[in-house]
Amino acid sequence: MVNMTNAEYREYVKRKSPPSALAADTFRAFVSGGVICIIGQLLLKLWALRGLDSEEAAAAASVTLVFIGAALTALGIYDRLAKFGGAGTLVPITGFANSVASPALEFKSEGLVTGTAVKMFTIAGPVIVYGTVASVLYGLVLVLLESLG
């Protein structure tokens, strides 16, 4: 197997990989992502009923969803939800919370600094970095376009 060509390796992987149930996977992702969005909308309404204005309620709902995602990850529940829902559980903000909490929990035995703190952002770190860079570039382009006319 060490001396395989690229074509042979692709064929080997194709034989060993299970076929994907694309329609079922898509449906489960749609439903699970939709349920997360419904929960987010309910949280938004609940925070608004507590007297927060729309901007504050949106921030509070986001923080609550992050907390729920991290808590479900710590309890080992979020991984089971992600196996069922796939991208439907990974794309919303709860998936971001899972991507930060999961490595932190996995490497806590290596210590607070060298385990949890270092590994916490192995998955989410690039998202944060590239998201920040993209937003700065977008802001610069927006300022440039506004100054031109």
Domain count, the chain: 1
Domain that holds residue 112: 23-124
CA 105 to chain centre: 16
One DSSP character per residue, 14-43 reads: HHHSPPP-HHHHHHHHHHHHHHHHHHHHHH
* Residue range 7-22, pLDDT digits in tens: 888 888 888 888 888 9
pLDDT score, position 113: 65
| Any domain includes 55 | yes
Residue 63, pLDDT above cutoff 90: yes
| Any domain includes 11 | no
One DSSP character per residue, 85-110 reads: HTHHHHSSHHHHHHHHHHHHHHTGGG
**What whole-number percentage of the chain has pLDDT above 70?**
89
Q: Cα separation of 122 and 138, whole Å? A: 25
| Any domain includes 47 | yes
* Residue range 87-130, pLDDT digits in tens: 899 878 888 888 888 877 776 666 666 666 666 667 677 777 88
DSSP H or E segment with residue 109: none
Question: Model-level pTM?
Answer: 0.67
- The confidence band for 56, taking pLDDT boundaries of 50, 70 and 90, is very high
